Amino acid sequence: METKIGTKKHRLYIFLVLWFVSSSYNFAQTEDLVITKLFQDSYHTIKSMRHANSIYLDKLMISGNDPTIPGAIVANGVGLISLCIADAMYKKTSDAINWEPNAAAFVDTTLLKFIEFRNNMAINTKGLFRRYFDIHTGRKYKDWTDEYSTIDNAIFAMGLIYCKNYFSDNLSIVNNVNTLLGSMDFSAAISDDSLSLYMVLDSSGHGITSTITRPFNEYMIVAWLAKNLSALKSGYNKSQFYWNTYYSNPKSNLIPKPNYWGYELISDGGFISDFIPLFTYYYCHYYKNNIDYMDYFNNARKADSLWWTKAYPGINSYEWGLGAGDNPGGGYSANAIDNNSIGIVSPQIMSGFLPIYAQGKSDLKTLYNKGTGLSVYQLPSDTSRRFLWRYSHTNTSQRCTYVQAVDFSTMLYGLASLPEYLGPDFFDSCNNISPTETDVKVINNTIPLYCSLKQNYPNPFNPTTTISFDISSKSFVSLKIYDILGKEISVLILKELSAGLYACQWNTQGLASGIYFYHLQVHETTGEQAGSFVETKKLILIR
């Protein structure tokens, strides 16, 4: 029966919808000035690793002077994501001192530099960049090992995807990201028998046998990128098999599940640093949206905290975090349960778990201790900015010399995910890899006189519907689906098309009944009407 506008039933419905929307989006907690400063200064810690030529260095020297710091492909993935965060916070606060009013321009200059490297053949045959490189050429850095790390490139690729999703209205960024991603083939990391994954490829794009790794670890991100490869690529089938064998279902897949004091975890044979579940949480869309993986994520946090009380009886409850990075006193380590002999506390791990552990805010504030805590370091370029980094519980006089971009990254991500800032959905929307590109069919090559968006047919529909549109000249076309709250649900088209009449299907498998919107943007790349057409229409899914 039709509900008439103005009836009590309808007004109650509208009230409940508005209440739901309000309660969903106005959930920010009271902003804490200490946490806010940590957040701001954490961004500037990453920013301090950005060289004048737009490339991010592997690390920042906290004390002394070390001229031997190369560019690192993983640091540039972190840097690109940090710019998305800084742009979102600038738009939220209009604070041009602590955040970034020119973030989009910074992103584009970094992308253009890597396109320059790519065009100068500073990549291997699978489009992967060197792990460490000369920031001016992208080629081998001095006499350092020349290797193409699959996980480091995967995090760089996720940085590209973050920028493509976050700056989706910036055609230059989208096109430059597509150029870089289009060269990268992560199926090369999967062995031909579909059972192993390579940590390092050679210059010819072949896996180095001595670097085979077992799941489960941070290489889930590599497998996820390979899994989302276009079905037209030669490595598609082996990538699907590898993903389905090891990662699709953590409860039943063939991966070790060690148990620590009643907390079951997943690993590649032994519990490793907590950057593993944190990286997969922030970089792999599938991980965060899988209930079983999130159970393991919670267990990892609990096992970490509990280990400290057993390894160091009487330790303060706010001292925990099994991470990786520069060691206080020198060296580098990835610490873990039963592998942390000098009790290195990693605050970036505490921050990374903030989406599921509210107590972490208090722990970070206590460590900070008004800027005088054991884990507080100063930026050499601006001593008024302080950040939290690693220290030794057993020898508090030892200090770190460096802070590495990739190891520090979850400090920034965790703080950004707090509801009073950007919230966890920020990452969920930015790290979503578009599914295999929708099949777009040319219905008619006749050049239309103008652009238009047709009403989908059928409408209402279940489970698929067809969307048609005209474009009058060669254009970059974006066709996206949004739900009633404005959240992006699917990217159907994001590519350049010639003039003509086109049609594509939207398959709604797994979505609930309701009202959705499809949004077409046509930016002409020829002629004088660039960016001339934008239109949105409503469609209705009925199960």
Q: What is the DSSP string of 34-89?
A: HHHHHHHHHHHHHHTTB-TTSPBBSEEESSS------EEHHHHHHHHHHHHHHHHH
Query: Rounded distance, CA 169 to CA 124, Å?
Result: 31
Both 509 and 392 in one domain: the answer is no
**40 contacts 122 by C-beta, under 8 angstroms:** no
3-state secondary structure of 383: strand
Does 5 map to a domain?
A: no
Site of tokens 């869309």: 285
pTM of the model: 0.78
Final residue in a domain of this structure, among 394, 411, 430:
430
Both 320 and 446 in one domain: the answer is no
Both 107 and 149 in one domain: the answer is yes
Q: What is the pLDDT of residue 272?
A: 81
**174 contacts 491 by C-beta, under 8 angstroms:** no
Q: In a 10 Å sphere around its CB, with 0-12 CB exposed, 13-18 middle and 19+ buried, how is residue 452 labelled?
A: middle
Helix (H), strand (E), coil (C) string for 262-319 = CEECCCCCCCCCCHHHHHHHHHCHHHHCCHHHHHHHHHHHHHHHHHHHHHCCCCCCCC
Which helix (DSSP H) or strand (DSSP E) does residue 197 occupy?
strand 197-198
Final residue in a domain of this structure, among 398, 430, 462:
430
Here the tokens at position 80 are 């690109």
Q: What is the pLDDT of residue 527?
A: 53
Spell out the per-residue pLDDT of the chain, length 543, in tens: 333 334 444 444 434 433 343 333 333 466 899 999 999 999 999 999 999 999 999 999 999 888 889 999 999 999 999 999 999 999 999 999 999 999 999 999 999 999 999 988 899 999 999 999 999 999 999 999 889 999 999 999 999 999 999 999 898 898 899 889 988 999 999 999 998 999 999 999 999 999 999 999 999 999 999 998 876 678 988 999 999 999 999 999 888 999 999 999 999 887 789 999 999 999 999 999 999 999 999 999 999 999 999 999 999 999 999 999 999 999 999 999 999 999 999 999 999 999 999 999 999 999 999 999 999 999 999 999 999 999 999 999 999 999 999 999 999 999 999 999 999 999 999 999 864 445 677 777 788 888 999 999 999 999 889 999 999 888 878 888 888 988 777 778 877 788 899 998 887 766 788 999 999 988 876 554 445 789 999 999 998
Query: Rounded distance, CA 60 to CA 80, Å?
Result: 17
If one counts every other C-beta atom within 10 angstroms of the C-beta of residue 450, the result is: 10
If one counts every other C-beta atom within 10 angstroms of the C-beta of residue 15, the result is: 10
Final residue in a domain of this structure, among 405, 430, 455:
430
Q: What is the pLDDT of residue 393?
A: 96
Both 237 and 91 in one domain: the answer is yes
Cβ contacts of 301 within 8 Å, gap of 6 or more: 274, 353, 356, 357
3-state secondary structure of 179: helix
Does 86 map to a domain?
A: yes
How many domains, the chain? 2
Both 278 and 218 in one domain: the answer is yes
Task: Single out the residue of 437, 441, 458, 456 nearest to residue 501, CA to CA.
Answer: 441
The whole domain housing 462 covers: 441-541
Q: What is the pLDDT of residue 510?
A: 60
Both 203 and 299 in one domain: the answer is yes
Q: What is the pLDDT of residue 24?
A: 36
Which helix (DSSP H) or strand (DSSP E) does residue 467 occupy?
strand 464-471
Does 135 map to a domain?
A: yes
Here the tokens at position 196 are 């192993």
Both 323 and 451 in one domain: the answer is no
Q: How many helices (H) and strands (E) does the chain have?
A: 15, 24
Q: Backbone dihedral region of 433: left (phi > 0), alpha (psi from -120 to 50 degrees) or beta?
A: beta
Q: At CA 98, angle to CA 71 and CA 89, rounded to 5? A: 90
Cα 502 to the center of its chain, rounded Å: 32
What's 419's domain CATH number?
1.50.10.140
Both 426 and 445 in one domain: the answer is no
**389 contacts 348 by C-beta, under 8 angstroms:** yes
Both 422 and 473 in one domain: the answer is no
